[in-house]
Structure 1
C-alpha cells in the first residue's frame, strides 16, 4: 500500500503515531493536525487500514540470514569481521535486535540516505529490504506551480528572510538525536558591509564567545515575548589543540580605542574622512586614527592598514604599552601548601604530589627565568622550607598557628631556575620526612595565611592540597553533614559556606592578586562547598578526589595527570575583564570564578585556561542599529612577564521579527547560561526552587513559541512545537535536572553535590554539554573504521540516544560524561569478547569497578583502547576521567551510577524523556500533571 504522505493534497503530510497506532495528518503551513485524511483526496486510504511504517514496530523482530553479516562478520559489506554475536545464536542464520534500535533506525533511515537492499545503515547494521526502499520525493504529486505557491506561503510566515530559516519541530514525534549537539550554532548573518574586512575570522569563534541568540531583539518587549534568555557564554582563554591557529599578536603597541566608551578598534568600525578617522561601532563617536596605525615599525616604512590583525580577526591580543601598567609586570609565583597529616601520608597523596611537582618542574612556565616557588607543609603545625641557592635546604617548624609569621623572610620564596637542584632534592625526600607522621588534624587556614604573607607583595598562585576537614586555627570547620536533611528543603544550607573566613580571605587574596587552586582528597566529609569559596572568588579552580588512595594505580594516575596539566598551564596574572556592548545593551549579572570589583569590572588574580564565564544581558531601550557588537577585553600579565590585552569581539544582527529570534537561538549557550543560573538559585534559595525555575523557563519558551509561531495559538494542541534549532533544549534541561548538582535525591553527599555545582559553573561548553548529556557508544558492533586513525585522528563510533533500550545483553557499551567513563558489559557477552578486551576467560571471572584496560595484541582491543584514549584527550581542560567496568549484574550502586547517565530513562522519582515531554505538553496547554 502506498504511504498516505504520497497521496495527500498540497500542503499536507502524514506522520505515524506509534502510541495510537494510526496516522496523524498535519498541515505543514499552519501546524494544524487531525486524525482523518484531509478532504479533497478521495484516494487516501481509510485511516484504520493504514499500515504503520515497519520501523515503528514495537516487538522484537528476527532478521533474515543475509541481513546479519555486519554483525557476524563476512564479505557482504566488505567490513572487518565483528567477532561477537549473541551467545547461542546460530551462526549465519538469524539475529535478535533490541526493539529500541530497530525503531530509531527506522526513524533515521531516510535521513541517512539508506538505499538499496545491501547497504549498511548509520549504525552499522544490515537493514531489511522494506526499510531500504528508494526514497520518495517529499511532495511527489506537486507541480512546480504548487511548489511555488508553497514557497510563497513560507515566505509569508517570515521564513528565510535573512539568517537561519525557522523550521518547526514536533517534540512528541522527534526523539533526541545526539549528533545535533555537535552542530555549530545557528548562522550569524550580518548586513552587507558590516565588517571592514572580508576575513572569515572577523567574528569570534563560538569556542571563545557565544551568545544565546544570534539575532538580537530590537526591544525588550520582543525579548520578553520570546521568553528566551539573553546572555553570553565565554571562554576567552581556551587552550589550543595541535594545528589550531594561535591568537594574532599586535606587537607595535599602537592601540586604537574609542575616546568615549573605550572600545578597542575591531573589524566592525567604519573609516570616515578619507580614512583619517574611524567611527566606533558601539557608541558611534568619531575618533582619530593613530599616526602610527599605517606605519610598519619593524621595516620602518608605510604599512598596509588592511593587513592589521585587529581589522581582520575578532580574537586578537595587544602588547600593552607602559600606560597600561600600575607596576612592572610581576613574575609567576607558585606557593604549594601540602597537607602532611596522617591521612594525607597514608593515602599516598603526599608522595604522589611531591613526585608530580618534581617531574614537572621543567614544565612550570619559566621562559624568562623569573618564576618563583615556595613549599609549605602543614598538619596542626606549619613546616616552612628554606631553600638557599647553592646551599642545603632546612625545615622551620611553627607551632603557634594563632598568630602567623614567617620564620625567615628570605630563602622561603626562591627562584625556580637558581634553586632548581635544591628544590629537586627537597621534593625527593619530602614524603620520607613525614612518612611516620601520626598527627591527625589540619591547619589549612593558617597555612593559607602564611602563603598569602609570603606572596602578598607580588601576587601569584597558591596551590593547596588538603586531605581532611580543616580542624584547628583560623577557618576551622565542623562536620555538618547530616543524612536526615539530605533531600529536604534544608539541604541547600549545606551548599553554602559554613564560615565567613574563606570568603573574606578570598577577597583579600583578590586585592593582592593572589589566586587559589584547591585539590581536595578526603575519604570523609571535607566541606567542599566552603573550601570552594577560595577558588570561586580568586578565579581559581577546585579539584576533588573523594576517597583518594594512591595504592590504586588509577587514582594516582588521574591526580598526577590533572595536577601536572595545571602546573604546565600558561596562566594569565593580575587580570581584569570588562565586557562592553552596543548602545542600549547592558551586562546585568555575571556568573563564574572571579570577584566583581566594581559594577562591571571582574577581577581575576590568575586566569587558568578553559574556564567558562556567563553574563546576562538586558535591553534597556529600542535598538535602531542593524547590528550590535559585544567586546570582551582582558588586561593581564602573561606568565612570561609581558603585559597584554586580549580582545574578543562578536557582532550579531538585530531583528524585530520573532521568527528570526527563535531561528537564531543557540541551545548549547542557553543550556550553559541556565546551568549557571540554576546553581546560583540552588544556593541563594532552595534546590527545589532551582529545579522549578529550570522547568518553568522551558515551559515559558515552549508556550511563547506555540502562541506566536503556530496556528494553535493559546488553545490546546496535539503537538509540542519548537523551532528545529531548539529541539535538543528539552533533553539538555532534563540532563540538568538529573545532574548530580541539582538532582532530587536523598543519596547524594553534600561534597559530591557541591563539586558537581562547581563543574556546572566553570566548564566550557565543550565539556559542559557531555557533563549534562553524556555520550553513549555501542562498541561490540561498531563500524569497522571506528577506533582506527582517520584524517582527523581516531574515528569515534556514532553516538546513541541515552536510553537503556539500546543496551543488549551480549553487548559492550561505553558511556562517558567528561568526568567518568563506564564500560558496560552485558551478562551474555561471549567469552571471545571478554578475552579480546580484558584478557580474561569469561564474564564470570571479570571484576567490575575502577580499572585500567590492558593493551593486547588484537585489533578489537586496540580499537577500544584508542576510543577510550581519544575520549580522554579530545576535549579541552586538564580532566582525566576514571574508567569503570560495569557488569550488567554488578553491585547495585555502581550499576545505578552508570545507568543514571542514560538520562532519557526513568530513574527513581525522575521522569523519562517521554514522561518529561508529556509533562511539558500538559503545562504548555495549560493543564496540570
Structure 2
C-alpha cells in the first residue's frame, strides 16, 4: 500500500481517523476537510480516494495480555547478553531508539543546528555526526523512515527552502494525541532577511538555551499581536551551565567596548558598517556611531587585527572584560556566610553533621582561584554562636550572643576569615561542630537575628548567605507562627498561605539587594516551616530555595541527595554585584518581569549573586507600528566574576517582523510559552487566588484556540468536528494541563502549603530544559526497551523511546521509569517475573520487594547495568544541581506512593482533574 502523502496533490494533508477507520483529507490553506480528494495521479483516474493503508495503531492499545505460565521463556531464552529481556507477554514491537538525550543533548545539538535552522522549520539536513532529528512534516503520523542525509540535502536544495518563512501546518487536537518526542524538537526556525547579519557565523543568533522568544516572527503591530492572542515574551537564562561538549562563551579581553551613544546597545552581528567602515549604525535606534580606534588592533600581537574575526561580530552570546568606568568600586572578593541551625531537631535529623561534613569535603571546590574568598560560620538556636578563627592557627573559639533584640558582632576581627589563610582552623571547626551541639536539647529558632548578624558581617562587601534551617523561626525579628490549617486547604482562602506572613523577610531582602547580598535557603523541617514566607529572601535577592521535607540523614538517600546538591551549590561559579537590562528595537518595551531579582528602576534588574541555570521571563509590549524588517533583543548583565574580574555578558537575538497572522502562529515557540504561563500562573495565584490562576490558564488556552480557529481555518466561527491548532503548538494544551496538575497550581485539599510553595518557587526559577519534564514528565518502558538502550552510543547513554503519559501503557508484568527532573519512580507491575526482580533488585520475588525511597544496586548482569545507566543518565542530563530521589512503586503497594507516581501520568484522569481527552473536549466546547 502506498502512503497517502505520496499520492496527494500539493497543499493537502492526510490524517487517519481511528473511529471511521479511514483517512480524512485536509486542505492546508483553507482547513477544509473531506473524505475524498482530487488525486493528482492519472493512473488513479483523477477522482477516486487513494488506496492507503492506515498507520500502525501505536497509540491505541487493545486489552493488555497478562503474565501467565510460560511467559518467562522470552526472558530466560535470551542468547545475546545485550538483548533486551522481554519480560512481557508478546515480544516487544521494535521501537526506534532515541539516539539523543531529551532536553539537554538536544539542546547541545542546538548549537550545531543553529546553522541549519535558517533553512526553515523542517528544512535542512543534520550536520555530520548529528542524530536524525524528528523533523519531517510527516512526524507524528505513524513511523516514517528518515531518508539518508545526502538525499535530504538534495531534496531541500531543489526546493529552495532557505528563503522560506516557517510554513503553517494545522493539527487537529482531537485526532492527534500528544507525542512526547515533539518536546525535543528545536523551536520554529528564525528566517531573517538576507544580509541582516554582517557575519555568516552560525552563532550570530543566540542559542535558545540562553534566550528564546515566545514568537520567532514579531508582529508589526500590537493589534496583530492581540489578534493572535499569543503573549510576546522573552525567556532568559543568561548563565546556563556548560556541559561537556558545549561551546564556552567567547571572551573579549581587550576592553574595547563599542556601544551606541544614544541607546547604549553593544555592537553585535546585526549592526551595519558605513562611511568606509569608520562608523557603524545601531540596529536598535539607527544612530550612527564611530568605530573605536583600537577596534581593528590586535593587542596581543601588537599589530593590526582582523575586524571580521572579532567575537562580538560573530557570536550572539559574548562576554567583555569591563574597563574601570564600569566599576562603582573595585571588584570585591566572593564571600560565603553559612548560617547553620543547631537546635534539637536540626541535630537529631543529622542535618548539622551532614552539612558540616559536606562543607569540609567541598572546601576545595568553593571558587577561590585568586585566594581572596572569605567565609564565616554562624550557628543559631535561641542564641547566636559566632566562631573566631585566627589565621595560621588550628584553634577556634565560640562566642555566644543571647541578645536577639539588638544583634551585635562580638568581635571586630577573625569572624569573617580568608578561606586560604584560616583553612586549618576552619577545617578543625567543621570537624567538631556537630559534636559541640550533639546534646543540644534547645527547641526554637532565632533565624531573623541570625540573618541580621550575617548581614552585618558581610554588608560592606556583599556576597552569599547560605541558610540551613530545620524549624519554623520562633524568636526575635521575623518570628513566624504555624498558620497551616487543613480546613482552608482547597478553599479560596488557601492562597493566603502562599503569601508572606511577615513583612520582615521582604524588607530584609530588599536591604540585602542594596548591599549586594544574596540568600540561599536550605529547608529541612519535618513539620510546617512556612516555605512561602522564607522563599521571599531568595526571590528578591536572586538566590534559590532548596527543600528537604522530613529530612533524616540516617536514610542514606536523604543524606546523599542533600550532600550532592549542597556540594554543587558550593562549587558553582556565581556572578556577583550583577545588574541586568534588556534592550529592544524601537517601539518594543519590556513591560513586566518574572523571576528571582529586585526591579531597581523601571527596567534595571538587581541581582546580588546570579546562580547558574536560573531562568527569567520578561513580557514585551509593542508600543507602535514596527517598520524595520527585523528586530533585535539584547540582554546585558554587568557582573563581577567570583574570581574578581568585572565583566559584561551580552546575549543578542534577532527576529524577523511579519504582518501575516499565519506566520505569527507558525513561529510560536510552545516551550517558551509554557515557561511564561508557569510564571504568570504562580504570580496570579499569590496576588489573587489559586482558582483565578487556573481559570486564567484555561482561558488563555481557549483564547489562542479561538483566535486560530477564527482566522486560520475555513470553519471560522461555526461549529466544527476539529479542534485546530498550529502544528508547532500541538503540545501546548498538554503542557498547560501539566501545569494545571502540577503541585504548585493543582486543585486539591491534600497538598501541604510548604510543598505547594516550594513547587511554585521551582516553577518560577527552573530553566525551560528542567521545567518541561517538571510539567510533562518522562515515561519509559524498561522491561522491553530496545537492546541498544542503556548502552553507550555516540551521544552518551542511549535512552529508551519516551511513551505518552497515560497508564494504558503500564503492563502488569512490566518495569517502568517515570521522572519529572525532581523525582524518579520505578514502577513494578504485580505480575513481574521472578527473574526480572532478581536481575534488577537482587531479590527472589515480587512479594519480597519493598516500595519506597531506595538506592538501586548495580548487579553483575547486563540488564541491571542498563537500567542503572538509564537512571544515571536521567539524573545527569538535566541542568541545575538537583539530584532526584529514586522511589520503587509496587503496583499493589502503598496507596499514597502509587497515587503520587500516577499523578505524573498527566494524560489520565485524576481526582477532580480531567484526562487529556476530557481537557481537549472542554476546550472544544468553549471554542
Tell me the TM-score normalized by structure 2.
0.89
Q: Is the 8 Å Cα contact of residues 79 and 784 (structure 1) preserved in structure 2?
A: no
Match of 2:396 in 1: 393
Alignment equivalent of 1:494, drawn from 494, 497, 507:
497
- 1:778-816: CA deviation from partner (whole Å, max 9, x where unpaired): 000101111111111111111111010110100000000
Cα contact 1:706–1:722 (8 A) shared by 2: yes
Q: Which residue of 1 aligns with 2:412?
A: 409
| Corresponding position: 1:596 with 2:608 | no
C-alpha distance 837-917 of structure 1, shift in aligned 2 (>3 A):
same
* Superposition deviation, residue 757 in structure 1: 0.4
Matched, 1:849 2:852: yes
Aligned counterpart in structure 1 of residue 513 of structure 2, from 510, 513, 521: 510
Shift of 1:81: 3.3
Q: Which residue of 2 aligns with 1:860?
A: 863
The corresponding residue for 2:754 is 751
**How far 1:337 sits from its partner (Å)?**
0.1
Q: In 2, Cα distance between the equivalents of 1:235 and 1:759?
A: 14
SS of equivalent to 1:461: strand
Check if 1:168 corresponds to 2:174.
Answer: no
Change over 3 Å in CA distance of 1:6–1:193 after alignment to 2: closer
CA distance in 2, matches of 1:6, 1:365: 59
CA contact (8 A) 1:71 1:781 kept: no
Secondary structure at 2:867 match in 1? helix
Instruction: Give unpaired runs (5+ residues) of structure 1.
Output: 99-110, 112-121, 124-130, 137-150, 925-929
Contact 1:612 1:762 in 2 (8 A): yes
Query: Quick check: 1:662–1:723 contact (8 Å CA) kept in 2?
Result: yes
Q: Deviations over 1:283-319 (max 9, x none)?
A: 0000000111111112211111111111111111111
- The reply to whether residue 707 of structure 1 matches residue 716 of structure 2 is no
Q: Give the SS at the match of 2:685.
A: helix
Shift of 1:354: 0.3
| 8 Å Cα contact 1:84-1:832 kept in structure 2 | no
2:517 and 2:728 mapped to 1: Cα distance? 42
Q: CA deviation at 1:671?
A: 0.5
What residue number does 2:272 align with? Answer: 270
Contact 1:204 1:648 in 2 (8 A): yes
Preserved CA contact (<8 Å) 2:7 2:39: no
Could you tell me whether the CA contact under 8 Å between 2:674 and 2:736 is conserved in 1? yes
For residue 305 of structure 1, the aligned residue among 298, 304, 307 is 307
Q: Deviations over 1:256-287 (max 9, x none)?
A: 10000000011111000000000000000000
Whether contact under 8 Å (1:22, 1:52) holds in the other structure is yes
2:185 is the counterpart of 1:183: yes
CA distance in 2, matches of 1:654, 1:70: 61
Correspondent of 1:633 among 631, 636, 656:
636
Shift, 1:10, TM fit: 8.2
Question: Is 2:373 the partner of 1:375?
Answer: no
- Alpha-carbon distance between aligned partners in 2 of 1:315 and 1:12, rounded to the nearest angstrom: 41
Q: What is the rounded CA distance, in whole Å, between the counterparts of 1:216 and 1:7 in structure 2? A: 36
Q: Which residue number corresponds to residue 888 of structure 2?
A: 885
**Alpha-carbon shift at residue 6 of structure 1 (Å):** 9.0
Is the CA contact 2:39–2:46 (under 8 Å) kept in the aligned structure 1?
A: no
What is the rounded CA distance, in whole Å, between the counterparts of 1:876 and 1:219 in structure 2?
A: 36
The Cα of 1:79 is off from its aligned counterpart by: 8.8
* Post-superposition CA distance 1:72-128 (Å, at most 9, x none): 58799x894333434xx6xxxx66999xxxxxxxxxxxx9xxxxxxxxxx99xxxxx
Q: Is 2:741 the counterpart of 1:768? A: no
Contact 1:62 1:96 in 2 (8 A): no
Q: 894, 898, 901: which one pairs with 1:898? A: 901
Distance 2:23 2:192 in 1: 42
Q: Which of residues 658, 661, 664 in structure 2 aligns to 1:661?
A: 664
Map of 1:426 onto structure 2: 429
2:114 aligned residue? none
Alignment of 1:258 onto 2:257? no
- Indicate conservation of the 8 Å contact 1:62/1:95, yes or no: no
Change beyond 3 A, Cα 1:135–1:199: closer
Query: Any conservation in 1 of the 2:87–2:836 contact (CA below 8 Å)?
Result: no
Q: Which residue of 1 aligns with 2:581?
A: 578
Q: Superposition pairs for residues 7-156 of structure 1, below 5 Å?
A: 15-19=15-19, 24-34=24-34, 55=57, 59-60=62-63, 80-86=82-88
Matching of residues 222-233 of structure 1 within 5 Å: 222-233=224-235
- State yes or no: 1:336 paired with 2:338: yes
Cα distance in 1, alignment partners of residues 52 and 873 from structure 2: 47
1:208 matched residue in structure 2: 210
Structure 2 counterpart SS, 1:198: coil
Name the SS of the counterpart of 1:362 in structure 2: helix
- Residues 56-77 of structure 1: CA deviation (Å, up to 9, x unaligned): 87633889xxxx999658799x
Instruction: Report deviation, 1:26.
Output: 3.7
Task: Provide closer, same or farther for how the CA distance between residues 423 and 702 of structure 1 changes in structure 2, counting only shifts above 3 A.
Answer: same
Instruction: Report the alpha carbon displacement of residue 34 of structure 1 after superposing the two structures with TM.
Output: 4.6
RMSD, matched Cα: 3.0
Measure the CA separation in 2 of the matches of 1:379 and 1:341.
5
State how far apart, in whole Å, the 1-side matches of 2:563 and 2:358 are. 6
- Residue by residue, what CA displacement relative to the aligned partner does 1:418-438 show, whole Å, maximum 9, x if unpaired? 000000000000000000000
Aligned to 2:219: 217
C-alpha displacement at 1:172, in angstroms?
1.1
Determine the structure 2 residue equivalent to 1:280: 282
CA shift digits 1:122-181 (9 cap, x unpaired)? 99xxxxxxx999999xxxxxxxxxxxxxx99xx9xxx99732111111111111111111
Render the CA deviation track for 1:686-726: whole Å, top value 9, x for unaligned: 11110111111111111111111111111111111111111
SS of alignment partner, residue 364 of structure 2: coil
Alpha-carbon distance between aligned partners in 2 of 1:408 and 1:396, rounded to the nearest angstrom: 9
Q: Is the 8 A contact 2:221 2:626 kept in 1?
A: yes
- Superposed CA deviations along residues 895-918 of structure 1, whole A, max 9, x for unmatched, are 000000000111111111111111
How far does the alpha carbon of each residue in 1:623-673 deviate from its partner, in whole angstroms, 9 at most, with x for none? 000110000001000100111100000001111111111111110000001
Matching residue of 2:816? 813
CA distance 1:420–1:656, change in 2 (3 Å): same
CA apart distance, 1:22: 6.2
**1:671 partner SS:** helix
Distance 1:79 1:627, change over 3 A: farther
CA separation in 2, counterparts of 1:803 and 1:426?
52
Q: Note the C-alpha offset of 1:243.
A: 2.3
Secondary structure of the 1:701 match is helix
In structure 2, the gaps of 5 or more residues are 95-121, 123-132, 135-141, 148-157
Asked if 1:622 is matched to 2:663, the reply is no
Relative to structure 1, is the Cα distance of residues 845 and 194 closer, same or farther in structure 2, using a 3 angstrom cutoff? same
Note closer, same or farther for the CA distance 1:297–1:806 as it changes in structure 2 (3 Å cut): same
Work out whether residues 380 and 443 of structure 1, in 8 Å CA contact, stay in contact via their aligned partners in 2.
yes
The 3 A distance-change label for structure 1 pair 627 and 3 is closer
**Retained in 2: the 8 A contact 1:872–1:880?**
yes
**What is the alpha-carbon distance in structure 1 between the residues aligned to residue 170 and residue 453 of structure 2?**
60
Give yes or no for the alignment of 1:870 onto 2:873. yes
Distance 1:329 1:806, change over 3 A: same
Q: How many angstroms apart in 1 are the aligned matches of 2:522 and 2:891?
A: 33
1:553 aligns with 2:566: no
More deviation, 462-471/694-703: 694-703
Query: Cα–Cα, structure 1 residues 428 and 12, in superposed 2: closer, same or farther, change >3 Å?
Result: closer
In 2 relative to 1, CA 160–256 (structure 1 residues): closer, same or farther, beyond 3 Å?
A: closer
Between the aligned partners of 2:338 and 2:542, the Cα distance in structure 1 is 17
2:527 paired residue among 486, 510, 524: 524
Once the two structures are superposed, what CA deviation does each residue of 1:456-505 show, in whole Å capped at 9, x if it has no partner? 11101000000000001000000000111111111111000000000000
Distance (Å, rounded) in 2 between the aligned partners of 1:484 and 1:611: 35
Work out the CA distance in 2 between the residues paired with 1:70 and 1:300.
75
Instruction: Give, in whole Å, the separation in 2 of the partners of 1:177 and 1:24.
Output: 20
Aligned equivalents of 2:372, 2:920: Cα separation in 1: 58
Deviations 1:179-219 (A, max 9, x none): 11111111111111111111111111111000000110001
- Counterpart among 436, 440, 444 of residue 437 in structure 1: 440
Count of matched residue positions in the alignment of Structure 1 and Structure 2: 867
